[in-house]
Amino acid sequence: MPLRRRDRSARDVAGGTWLARLVLSAWAAQLGSCASPEAPPGGPVDEVPPSLVSAVPESATTGHGPLRELRFGFSEKMDRTDAYRWLNVYPRRTVRGTSWRGSTTAVVEFDEPLPADTVVVVEILPGMKDSHGVPQPAGRSWVFATGDSIPTGEITGRLVLEKEPAAGAVVELLPDGPDTVRLAQRPVLRRAVADSGGTFRLSWLPADGDGWLLRAYDDRNRDRRAGDAEAQRLWPDTLRLAATSPRLDAGLRLFYLPTSPGTLTGRLSGRPPAEGPVLAFLRGIAEGDSGFVPAPQPPGASPARAVPDTGDFELPGAGPGLVRAVFFVDRDGDSLLSAVGEPADTLWALEPWALADSVPVEPGLPARLPLIVWPDTLTPWAAPPPDTAAALPDTAAASPDSLARPPEE
């Protein structure tokens, strides 16, 4: 009996030791799994973006007649969202509904059929996702015709944003028309995306149609809309394609971020009405501005910029937006528009000044001012108290009468 008890005790100890080792082993395995994660079951994570593999109607086909429905096939199962989120058609049509056959084929129905005898451009936007959330990085466009032909007219050009190629910028083709019709109210007839070198191409255009306008914008968020915080630029001239020359190079266009200041350029008319260097300072015009009130600039105001003796000027740092430019003859040498006169006089006059008001300046671009003409009279100003006048430099000792007369030849 005692032997059996010892044997049983030995077995119990052995069993307990084995159980302890099993628990420790499982705990160590759990720690190891935390330190070295393995790929989840079911294979590697899907990182391949989806792609379009078929479309009905197919690209470059003709003679389809009025259509109400388009069909798209994709390379893998898709996130089955409505087509209004990822599809544009020109001429524009409203998506009535999107039905999915499985998860790889989308059938899109429009409220109204695409018209007969019309060139139709289809655009799939970038960012459309598959069922694993992987987006396609780039969009795609192609053309077909409900009529019997596809025109071959084309407009190309190049965009530069802040001295770099504007890769990914969008160019829109808009119909020309009266200025009373705002750009936002005009339909987009075509759209193109600039490549890595900033080059864009608008294809399948008629060579004998009406005139067009071009608008470019830096589509940073890839939503195909010109946002207020995105750089944008409108071509100044109406563009047309001739039947004898169906291809047009719209040239290089520079555009800038909305906060980039522009430059004022222009010329002063004749000699100023007093001796002294001519300076200029700029001010932005905010909403509710009540106009320029002539007055001496306070001490500490930003120094003005010198205008060359030739009268031709180029003033950087303007705007963007509406800008006011004030030119003056700096009689007392303090680089500020000041009132000058004899210390003993009760009436002084502002230094001779001229104004260019409410000048529109586009971001980063030059704005040409009309000819700046000096006025014939001076602006009277009440003299400062005697203790202030005594502290003024000797160069301020000029009477209002002498200021009102231009210097003799």
Whether the per-residue pLDDT at 275 is higher than 80: the answer is yes
Asked if residue 312 lies in contact with residue 269, where contact means CB atoms within 8 angstroms, the answer is no
- Residues 335-364 have a mean pLDDT of 93
Asked if residue 71 lies in contact with residue 107, where contact means CB atoms within 8 angstroms, the answer is yes
Sorted by where each begins, the domain ranges of the chain are 49-149, 151-258, 262-287+295-404
Whether the per-residue pLDDT at 76 is higher than 70: the answer is yes
Task: Give the number of other CB atoms < 10 A from CB of residue 325.
Answer: 22
Residue 320 vs residue 177, higher pLDDT: 320
Q: CA 268 to CA 354: how far, in whole Å?
A: 9
- Residues 101-112 have a mean pLDDT of 95
**Top-ranked range on mean pLDDT: pick from 135-144, 151-160, 203-212, 394-403:** 151-160
pLDDT attached to residue 106: 97
Output Rg (C-alpha) for the chain, integer angstroms. Answer: 37
pLDDT attached to residue 33: 43
Over residues 190-215, the pLDDT tens digits come to 999 999 999 999 999 988 777 999 99
- Residues 96-110 have a mean pLDDT of 96
pLDDT attached to residue 42: 56
At the top level of CATH, which class does the domain 49-149 belong to? mainly beta
Q: Are 49-149 and 151-258 the same fold in CATH?
A: yes
CATH code: domain 151-258 is 2.60.40.10
The mean-pLDDT minimum among 54-63, 273-282, 390-399 falls in: 390-399
pLDDT attached to residue 77: 95
Query: 258 is written with which tokens?
Result: 């909305």
Q: What is the mean pLDDT of the chain?
A: 84
Largest CA distance in the chain: 142
Over residues 33-69, the pLDDT tens digits come to 444 444 455 556 778 999 999 999 999 999 999 899 9
pLDDT attached to residue 52: 94
Over residues 109-123, the pLDDT tens digits come to 999 999 999 999 999
Place 164 in a pLDDT band, splitting at 50, 70 and 90.
very high
| Cβ neighbours for 5, distance < 8 A, ≥ 6 positions apart | none
pLDDT attached to residue 177: 84
pLDDT attached to residue 6: 41
pLDDT attached to residue 110: 96
Query: 348 is written with which tokens?
Result: 């002084």
What 3 state SS string does the chain have? CHHHHHHHHHHHHHHHHHHHHHHHHHHHHHHHHHHCCCCCCCCCCCCCCCCEEEEECCCCCCCCCCEEEEEEEECCCECCCCHHHCEEEECCCCEEEEEEECCCEEEEEEEEEECCCCEEEEEECCCCEECCCCECCCCEEEEEECCCCCCCEEEEEEEEECCEECCCCEEEEEECCCCCCCHHHCCCCEEEECCCCCEEEEEEECCCCCCEEEEEECCCCCCCCCCCCCCEEECCCCECCECCECEEEEEEEEECCCCCCEEEEEEEECCCCCCCCEEEEEEECCCCCCCCCCCCCCCCCCCCEECCCCCEEEEEEECCEEEEEEEEECCCCCCCCCEECCCCCCEEEECCEEEEEEEEECCCCEEECCCEECCCCCCEEECCCHHHHHCCCHHHCCCHHHHHCCCCC
Q: Is the dihedral of CA 302, 308, 311, 315 positive or negative?
A: negative
Whether the per-residue pLDDT at 17 is higher than 90: the answer is no
Residue with tokens 């080792």: 21
- Residues 87-99 have a mean pLDDT of 94
Place 228 in a pLDDT band, splitting at 50, 70 and 90.
confident
